[in-house]
Amino acid sequence: MNTEPDPTMDLTFTDAASAQEAAQLPALTAFDRCDAPDCTAQAYVRARLRSGRSLVFCGHHGHDLLPALAGQGAVVRDDTPLLVENRLRITPSIGGGRN
């Protein structure tokens, strides 16, 4: 059976390449605050513009601006899934690691 990649699936390759690029952007910390005016929320989205300038946004503003950033060819690292992970981690583990 021939399982060569379909050339019409070129978009997938582009997405994978930009996902790899996005993973190389520095991770966000609690000190990174949203760059949107009048917003001081913790940043969970980092965008590196084609100019090389880096901007960070909270989940709310990041998702608002994502289409515009992507349209300008920015590389975007979206760490908002960590918000869900952190919420799950709130459940205290009682019993000293016994399973």
Least distance between Zn ion and beta carbon 46 (Å): 13
**Is residue 76 involved in binding Zn ion (CB under 5 A)?**
no
Nearer CB in complex with Zn ion: 20/81: 81
Residue 15 to residue 3: CA distance in whole angstroms: 20
**Is residue 36 involved in binding Zn ion (CB under 5 A)?**
yes
Q: Per CB under 5 A, which region of 8-16, 19-27, 41-49, 76-84 contacts Zn ion?
A: 41-49
Report angle CA 38, 51, 36 to the nearest 5 degrees: 10
**Is residue 48 involved in binding Zn ion (CB under 5 A)?**
no
**Is residue 34 involved in binding Zn ion (CB under 5 A)?**
yes
Q: Give which of 67, 72, 77 is closest to 32, Cα–Cα.
A: 77
Least distance between Zn ion and beta carbon 57 (Å): 6
Report angle CA 37, 39, 44 to the nearest 5 degrees: 115
Dihedral sign (CA 12, 18, 23, 24):
positive
**Is residue 46 involved in binding Zn ion (CB under 5 A)?**
no
Binding site for Zn ion (CB under 5 A): 34, 36, 39, 41, 58, 61
